[in-house]
Amino acid sequence: MFLIENAKIVGEEGLKNILVAGGKIEKIFEGSCNYPVDERYDAAGKTIIPGLIDQHIHITGGGGEGGFNTRVPELGLSKLIEAGITTVVGLLGTDSETRSVENLVAKSLALTKEGIKTYSLTGSYAYPSPTITGSVKTDIVFIDQLIGVKIAANDHRDSCLDYKELQRIGAEARVAGMISGKSGHVTIHMGGGKFLFGQINDALEHSNLPITIFRPTHVNRDDKLFEEALDFAERGGYIDITSGMSRKLTDAKAYQKAKERNVLDRITYSSDGFGSWSNYDKEGNLVEIGYSPVDTGIKAIKEIVESGEKLEDAIKPFTSNVAKVLKLDREVGYVKEGYLANLVALNDDLEIETVISEGQVMMKDKKLLKKGTYE
């Protein structure tokens, strides 16, 4: 057993103790503790929030649009720990030729074994979707790590799929999720093209699919796309904002716009970590390329708080909202008894001090205690 003492749990008054056993929060209480614990950690009044849930990380590395030398390397465990991320969803991007869903599942298993629970999505930008079993449906139903599917739209790198093809992907994911008890969703990379939400709207208009099946991401790419995203959220959909993506439409501004439209419970944030960012000229030639870090989530939370929001509200699109849309909200996303002990201790400057994943201390007082196998 492990005891966290003198913790200020986000959104609660006073200092509490958190007893951890078997990787879960066994008890939250005030006062002295007489339990025969194996280890104690004095939080000394630091604020405890749930570990962040990042549903969009290229764990096997993204990129490749500029040639083989622009393939982004695989993600190391320590990057997740330093970013306060304790639950991950990995996925593919443009490149599903030199990357594979098999590779993605293997990396998910590796990160999970190293201490951070990791899921993944089948598919990629491409259509037909690359899979392991031969279909999106059976991938999601039979492979534990796969909880949904990835596709791209409104982008010069997508497969120019029409709305009927998007419907088929949505239908397969929907039924697979029902059978397996998973989220069974379609993460849709939204590019900077001229169709905006047109393909998604057409797919919904001409089908009986629920709007929540389609999860557009990178919706803060520009103002026009974000306005359509907010309309989508008002209709009951979920939208995913990429933290640190836009200097003009900052994370705090995106949050405020969602608040003004009363859709804060329909938004999530993710980092697109280790995915490439790229810029192109008018003829479609690559001008520059780089890759995104995974620590933009905690920076976005700080920015939102500095804009005037309470910490307990600012963290929701990074924790409980994500847990809900991924159907993981019975085990992660909250600091509650019975939930996994995925916890992050923040100092007064909202800097990450300590990270605990399923009861294992991964970083303590800003010192990494756990690294990846080959780090």
Indicate if the alpha-carbon torsion angle 162, 168, 174, 177 is positive or negative: negative
Alpha carbon 4 to its chain centroid, in Å, reads: 26
Distance CA 332, CA 363 (A): 19
Dihedrals phi, psi of 2, to nearest 5 degrees = -135, 135
Distance CA 39, CA 359 (A): 11
Where does the chain hold its CATH 2.30.40.10 domain(s)? 2-49+334-368
Does residue 272 have an active-site annotation? yes
Dump pLDDT digits (tens) for 215-255.
999 999 999 999 999 999 999 999 999 999 988 999 999 99
Is the confidence at residue 357, as pLDDT, over 90? yes
At residue 179 the predicted structure's pLDDT band, cuts being 50, 70 and 90, is very high
pLDDT in tens, 280-297: 888 888 888 889 999 999
Q: Answer yes or no: is pLDDT of 135 > 90.
A: yes
Pairing of strands 47-50, 343-346: antiparallel
Closest CA relative to residue 124, chosen from 154, 88, 156, 148? 148
What is the distance in angstroms between the CA of the first residue and the CA of the last residue of the chain?
28
pLDDT at position 279 is 84
Please tell me whether the overall predicted TM-score, pTM, comes out greater than 0.95 for this model.
yes
The pLDDT of residue 34 = 79
Q: Mean pLDDT, to the nearest integer, of 23-50?
A: 92
CATH number for domain 51-325, candidates 3.40.50.720, 3.40.50.300, 3.20.20.140, 3.30.70.60: 3.20.20.140
- Residue 144 CB partners (closer than 8 Å, separation 6+): none
**Residue 241 contacts residue 269 (beta carbons within 8 Å):** yes
Contact 21, 340 (CB under 8 A): no
Give the SS3 label for residue 228. Answer: helix
What are the E-state strand segments in the chain?
2-9, 16-21, 24-29, 39-42, 47-50, 52-57, 85-90, 117-123, 146-153, 185-190, 214-217, 239-242, 267-270, 276-280, 286-291, 343-346, 352-357, 360-364, 367-368
Q: Tell which residue, 321, 273, 295, 243, has the closest CA to residue 56.
A: 273
Residue 33 has pLDDT above 80, yes or no: no
Is residue 325 over pLDDT 90?
yes
- Is the pLDDT at 272 greater than 80? The verdict is yes
Higher pLDDT: 281 or 4? It is 4
Residue 304 scores a pLDDT above 90: yes
Looking at residue 94, what is its pLDDT?
92
What is the pLDDT, as a whole number, of residue 82? 99
- Name residues whose C-beta falls within 8 Å of residue 349's C-beta, 6 or more positions apart in sequence: none
Q: Tell me the average pLDDT across 15-43.
A: 92
**CATH architecture of the domain with range 2-49+334-368:** Roll (2.30)
Query: How far apart (Å, rounded) are the C-alpha atoms in residues 156 and 105?
Result: 27
Question: Any alpha helices (H) in 190-319, and if so which ranges?
Answer: 198-205, 223-234, 251-260, 296-306, 311-314
> What is the mean predicted confidence (pLDDT) over 262-275?
98
User: Which one from 139, 272, 313, 349 is the annotated catalytic residue?
Assistant: 272
CB atoms within 10 A of CB 6: 13
In the chain, list all ranges with CATH 3.20.20.140. Answer: 51-325
